[in-house]
Amino acid sequence: MLRNKFLCLEEEQSGILPPLQNGETVTYKHMAATQRFSRPPYRYSEASLVKKLEELGIGRPSTYAPTISTIINRKYVEKGVIEGVEREYQQLTLKSDVIETKTLSEKVGSDKGKLVPTDVGMLVTDFLVTNFDSILDYNFTAKVERDFDNIADGSDEWKSMMKNFYTTFHPIVEDVAQNAEREIGERVLGTDPKSGRQLSVRLGRFGAMAQIGTVDDEEKPLFASLTPEQQLSTITFEEAMDLFKLPANLGEFEEKPVMVNNGRYGPYVKHGDAFVSLPKGKNPLSTTLEEAIELIKEKQKADAPIAHYEDKPVTKGKGRFGPFIKWDGMFINVNKKYDFDHLSQEDIETLIEDKKRKEAEKVIHNWESEGIRVEKARWGRSNIIKGKLKIELSKDIDATKLTLEKVQALIEKKKPKPKKRKTSSKKK
């Protein structure tokens, strides 16, 4: 009976008992049975993925690092952040005709540091497998690698190899470009009990989202972003409905409302006009006012001025390109020769003056009334800048001879045209 309910039968004595003969019996002095649960395969880490690529013969050692960097940068996978949860299991021990029950625990569900596929990654993979199954075959890249080796040692001719490949590949690309439907990963979860409209999840412009209603309804659809931990393939009806409880008002702090919401870059707390990101893995719906206030205070402390220059505050922070200070809307990188944690007033003044001088030297034209300027760029080029629009000029254009009229004409030519709204049709 124990063997039917539990796995991993263990005997006290070591070694393997010989097969029993007819009429023989065995009496166990000590026997243990441990409850076990099935587990999904472990996700790949960067190291185990490289090992798997080597086993499949895909790529070369020099390509592994850029391949992994590419799929991370394109948001096809991301590093897991889930710590896992404790799960209890039972262990029964038979000793001296007495069964003892012991409750133990183990951590399960952790994917911290592993490469976890995103919704975008899964949809891209599904699209490629559907339309380019021969290219996505594990043996394809290995075969190409062998062909390249043959070309290198002179046994194959590269033109013949490329011709054979593109003869079949190019028509597939043309057919997919014209006829393939866009993958949005839509799942209909049910009906919103309040409005009676359809509840679905799909991939949108800014990531995975839940949607109440359709474009065919008279009333506009409602949208809510999925949290980073949620996926299109696994989110439930109840979890999707909870997303529409946001934004939620937690209360007030310093006579300003404190809200939690889920945005394009993840969940956040809004305090007045300030935004504070929630820690990874934190559910905005379970965030309390006390937790939000603690995050706001940390943000206020980090954003507090460390000095003043020309009666304007100087703040500091760490960004994509390293530590920086911010003054008068200007971000100034702080290099390693400065002690970033203990910047003196003299250090700050030097950094700001150096930045002002470099910015002034960079400007070729500045038509302030028009909000247009022309600046030097790298490699002998120059840029026209108006608001968020930047036009890179080629080396053969002498930016010093540009007139305002010529620059305005270039801006008008490069100005993006307004996009027409597409009407989507339902998949049958």
Domain match, 232 and 261 both:
no
In terms of Cβ atoms closer than 10 Å to its own Cβ (0-12, 13-18, 19+), residue 303 is middle
The residue from 258, 287, 303 where one domain ends is 303
Average pLDDT of the chain is 85
Element (H, E) at 278: none
Domain match, 117 and 211 both:
no
Helices 61-73, 46-56: crossing angle, 10 deg rounding:
130
User: How confident is the model at residue 421, as a pLDDT?
Assistant: 53
User: How confident is the model at residue 25, as a pLDDT?
Assistant: 62
Query: Nearest CA to 362 among 351, 374, 350?
Result: 374
In a domain, 326, yes or no: no
Domain match, 152 and 252 both:
no
Domain match, 8 and 136 both:
yes
The residue from 243, 275, 291 where one domain ends is 243
Tokens coding 157: 């001719």
Cα separation, 332 vs 350, in Å, equals 11
Q: What is each CA distance from 379 to 317, 359, 382, 416, in whole angstroms?
A: 30, 17, 9, 26
Q: What is the mean pLDDT of residues 177-203?
A: 89
In a domain, 428, yes or no: no
Q: What is the mean pLDDT of residues 92-102?
A: 88
In terms of Cβ atoms closer than 10 Å to its own Cβ (0-12, 13-18, 19+), residue 268 is buried
Q: How far is CA 112 from the centre of its chain?
A: 14
User: How confident is the model at residue 1, as a pLDDT?
Assistant: 35
CATH of the domain at 105: 1.10.460.10
Q: What is each CA distance from 394 to 370, 389, 397, in whole angstroms?
A: 23, 16, 6
pLDDT category of residue 264 using cuts at 50, 70 and 90: confident
DSSP secondary structure letters along 31-74: EEEE-----PPPPP-HHHHHHHHHHHT-S-HHHHHHHHHHHHHT
Domain match, 234 and 371 both:
no
Instruction: Kindly report, residue by residue over 243-260, the tens digit of the pLDDT.
Output: 998 889 999 999 999 999
In a domain, 321, yes or no: no
Element (H, E) at 88: strand 85-95
pLDDT category of residue 8 using cuts at 50, 70 and 90: very low
In terms of Cβ atoms closer than 10 Å to its own Cβ (0-12, 13-18, 19+), residue 199 is buried
Report whether pLDDT(426) > 70.
no
Cα separation, 224 vs 162, in Å, equals 47
CA-based radius of gyration for the chain: 31
Domain match, 222 and 83 both:
no
Helices 138-152, 158-179: crossing angle, 10 deg rounding:
150
pLDDT category of residue 26 using cuts at 50, 70 and 90: low
The residue from 125, 144, 177 where one domain ends is 177
User: How confident is the model at residue 27, as a pLDDT?
Assistant: 59
In a domain, 295, yes or no: yes
User: Which residues face 93 on adjacent strands?
Assistant: 32, 100
User: How confident is the model at residue 4, as a pLDDT?
Assistant: 34
List the domain range (segments joined by +) for residue 217.
Answer: 187-243
In a domain, 58, yes or no: yes
Cα separation, 161 vs 49, in Å, equals 29
> Tokens 């506009």 appear where?
220
- Helical H segments across 189-262, by residue range: 237-243
Domain match, 148 and 31 both:
yes
DSSP 137: S
Domain match, 231 and 279 both:
no
Long-range contacts of 344-350 (CB under 8 A, 24+ apart): 345/307, 348/306, 348/307, 348/309, 348/314, 349/309
Tokens coding 374: 């022309």
Task: Indicate the pTM of the whole model.
Answer: 0.57
Domain match, 263 and 358 both:
no
Domain match, 33 and 147 both:
yes
In a domain, 232, yes or no: yes
Domain count, the chain: 4
Domain match, 152 and 291 both:
no
DSSP secondary structure letters along 91-129: EEEEETTEEEEEEEEEEE---TTSEEE-HHHHHHHHHHH
In a domain, 422, yes or no: no
User: How confident is the model at residue 21, as a pLDDT?
Assistant: 64
Instruction: Kindly report, residue by residue over 368-412, the tens digit of the pLDDT.
Output: 889 999 998 888 889 999 988 889 898 888 888 999 999 999 998
The count of other CB atoms within 10 Å of the CB of residue 233 is: 13
Domain match, 159 and 57 both:
yes
In a domain, 408, yes or no: yes
3-class DSSP state of 332: strand
Instruction: Kindly report, residue by residue over 284-313, the tens digit of the pLDDT.
Output: 888 999 999 999 999 888 888 999 999 999
